[in-house]
Chain A
């Protein structure tokens, strides 16, 4: 009887530990949230997919194309098949890997104004401020923009 109970307790403990592991936040999750670039013209929501981090445009100060009056699309995308993808919702930050020192690297940032993609590294200065550095080749030859976290926090999963 005691052996049966011990086995049951062990199974329950393992099941609970697995569940807890699933629900556990990753150390890099402090990046998750809605952020605004310094020009204030867009807002980007950063989420985790698998173990990497991605950011989508969720708000634009000017959502419609002044020429057509229709919602803006990614008309500068180098892939002709994707020029009609809506800009609102576009994933402009891709594939960032957390490096355990408040830095996310290995990712890219896309500039919809010219259709170019740059290497990018994100550094968290404080919990509400990011340095976003886009560069080609070496980091020294790049440009840094400061992004601020918006007060609205996404619901925890």
Chain B
């Protein structure tokens, strides 16, 4: 009986170890959102790609609340959703495509494309972008300031002023203590 129990325990332990290894490590997963990030494309704007940016800092203590302990850092991060909406009354009809990238000031960390939509659905006032599952953004989010860069492709000139767009992003981040 004891022998049977020992075998069962060893088997259970091995299964648990395999499951832990397959789940991608010992870090805890957390969903983090960047809400209502307003990106302004400074006018006059010409037909073709135009760039706008929004700088933010990921505050782990604020994001994790009571679960945060001193020394926690981002181990890895993936983007899970990006939504772009018009922040003015003009809608999105004059845009042909969007690309969202992340960058930092650290010379060792390269800019990374994270999501795009090409072409945009007709008549939409907000659009969900296709995210890149291969984009590993952990090293970018570890940096102090992260630059969220939006490349917006305009179908025609807009010389009357600037355009503003609102972005909502969701990340799945893995934390290591």
Is A50 in contact with chain B by the CB < 8 A criterion? yes
Are B110 and A91 in contact, with the CB atoms below 8 A?
no
Contacts of B133 in A (CB 8 A): 81
A89 to B117 CA separation, bound complex (whole angstroms):
13
Beyond A89-B97, A91-B151, whether A97 also contacts B107 by CB under 8 A is: yes
**How many Cβ-Cβ contacts under 8 Å join chain A to chain B?**
79
Are A50 and B49 in contact, with the CB atoms below 8 A?
no
- Proximity bits, A95-121, B CB within 8 Å = 1, else 0: 101000000001010000000000000
B9 CB → nearest A CB, Å? 43
A56 CB → nearest B CB, Å? 6
Is B105 in contact with chain A by the CB < 8 A criterion? yes
A100 CB → nearest B CB, Å? 14
A117 to B40 CA separation, bound complex (whole angstroms):
30
A95 to B140 CA separation, bound complex (whole angstroms):
13
Are B153 and A86 in contact, with the CB atoms below 8 A?
yes
Beyond A88-B153, A89-B97, A89-B153, whether A82 also contacts B103 by CB under 8 A is: no
Contacts of A123 in B (CB 8 A): none
Contacts of B48 in A (CB 8 A): 58-59, 88-89
Contacts of B145 in A (CB 8 A): 50
Are A50 and B147 in contact, with the CB atoms below 8 A?
yes
Are B111 and A94 in contact, with the CB atoms below 8 A?
yes
Are A95 and B111 in contact, with the CB atoms below 8 A?
yes
Interface residue count for A (Cβ, 8 Å)?
A: 28
B43 CB → nearest A CB, Å? 9
Cross-interface CB contact of A86 among B44, B97, B103, B105, cutoff 8 Å:
B97
Q: Which of B71-98 touch A at CB < 8 Å?
A: 96-97
Are A85 and B105 in contact, with the CB atoms below 8 A?
no
Is A51 in contact with chain B by the CB < 8 A criterion? yes
Are B118 and A84 in contact, with the CB atoms below 8 A?
yes
Cross-interface CB contact of A88 among B44, B49, B53, B130, cutoff 8 Å:
B49
A73 to B97 CA separation, bound complex (whole angstroms):
11
Is A49 in contact with chain B by the CB < 8 A criterion? yes
Contacts of A52 in B (CB 8 A): 103, 105, 107, 111
Beyond A85-B113, A94-B111, A95-B110, whether A49 also contacts B49 by CB under 8 A is: no
Are B132 and A79 in contact, with the CB atoms below 8 A?
yes
Chain A residues near B (Cβ < 8 Å): 47, 49-52, 54, 56-59, 73, 79-82, 84-86, 88-89, 91, 94-95, 97, 106, 108, 155, 157
21 CB-based A-B contacts, threshold 8 Å: A49-B147, A50-B147, A52-B107, A57-B49, A59-B48, A73-B118, A79-B134, A79-B135, A80-B134, A81-B130, A82-B116, A84-B130, A85-B99, A85-B118, A86-B49, A86-B96, A88-B48, A89-B97, A91-B101, A95-B110, A155-B44
- Beyond the given A79-B134, A85-B99, please list 8 additional residue pairs across the A-B interface where CB-CB is below 8 A: A59-B48, A85-B113, A86-B49, A86-B153, A88-B49, A89-B151, A91-B113, A95-B111
